[in-house]
Chain A
Amino acid sequence: GQSLEQPSEVTAVEGAIVQINCTYQTSGFYGLSWYQQHDGGAPTFLSYNALDGLEETGRFSSFLSRSDSYGYLLLQELQMKDSASYFCAVRDRGNRDDKIIFGKGTRLHILP
């Protein structure tokens, strides 16, 4: 079947670095996306990896290894405003149609 696994919660200290992992199992694969969602808000796109390697955008970086069906989101210099839920998502190339699947989300708690 198709599934994405990510930790349900992660806690880190302000100013530190945190990594949120995502492993996936799909029948086909276009790429791995990451979204941030604050309570009461809508998901906001953070990054997309279609090829292996590291993509860096400011304090956020995302990594993909297609051979390991694994990716991660790295957040540096954590700020209190980074407290949110983070979702990995894949577009699965199905037999008939593409499917878009979100992981269950990782709740990131930032401690002062």
Chain B
Amino acid sequence: DTEVTQTPKHLVMGMTNKKSLKCEQHMGHRAMYWYKQKAKKPPELMFVYSYEKLSINESVPSRFSPECPNSSLLNLHLHALQPEDSALYLCASSQDPRGGEQFFGPGTRLTVL
């Protein structure tokens, strides 16, 4: 299995909702990442988990809460989001936490109403 999967593909939520994005990889990669990408912009790093521990938090608002239940799974819990949080949320993984090759999932297209 050489892919990163993400669910759901699309999500529409209100500002008072609580939802979760899920990411899974079975490549034995030791690092997993959450990125946010707006249209025609580069991916922006949000969080990095290295060996199941949070190693980087790029000053992300607390309404985004990451969780790494095990080495294959990564969740992003969403609560009280704002319309400006609407974006494509990408999960990625890499074998080496300091390597340059990341495998990206297809992303979750999030719309906040």
Min CB–CB distance B19 → chain A (angstroms): 20
Would A45 and B103 be within 8 Å (CB), given that A91-B98, A100-B33, A100-B48 are in contact? yes
Main secondary structure of the interface of A (DSSP, over half): strand
Q: Are A104 and B42 in contact (CB under 8 A)?
A: yes
The stretch of B10-18, B63-71, B75-83, B104-112 that contacts the partner chain:
B104-112
Q: Are A42 and B106 in contact (CB under 8 A)?
A: yes
Q: Are A105 and B42 in contact (CB under 8 A)?
A: yes
- Residue picked from B42, B45, B99, B103, most chain A C-beta under 10 Å: B42
Q: Are A41 and B103 in contact (CB under 8 A)?
A: no
Judged by a CB distance under 8 angstroms, whether B61 is at the interface is: no
What 0/1 readout, one digit per residue, does chain A (66-110) give for beta carbons within 8 Å of chain B? 000000000000000000000101010000011111111100000
Total interface residues on B, CB under 8 Å, equals 23
Cross-chain contact of A42 among B98, B100, B107 (Cβ < 8 A): B107
Q: Are A102 and B43 in contact (CB under 8 A)?
A: yes
Q: Which residues of B contact A50 (CB under 8 A)?
A: 100
Closest 4 CB pairs of A and B: A48-B100, A102-B42, A33-B100, A42-B104
Would A104 and B41 be within 8 Å (CB), given that A43-B104, A48-B99, A98-B56 are in contact? yes
Judged by a CB distance under 8 angstroms, whether B7 is at the interface is: no
Q: Are B90 and A43 in contact (CB under 8 A)?
A: yes
- Residue picked from A41, A45, A101, most chain B C-beta under 10 Å: A45
Min CB–CB distance A53 → chain B (angstroms): 15
The chain B residue sitting closest to A41, CB to CB, is B106
Assembly CA distance A43 to B106 (angstroms): 8
Assembly CA distance A89 to B104 (angstroms): 14
The chain B residue sitting closest to A88, CB to CB, is B42
Q: Which of B1-56 contact A (CB under 8 A)?
A: 33, 40-45, 48, 55-56
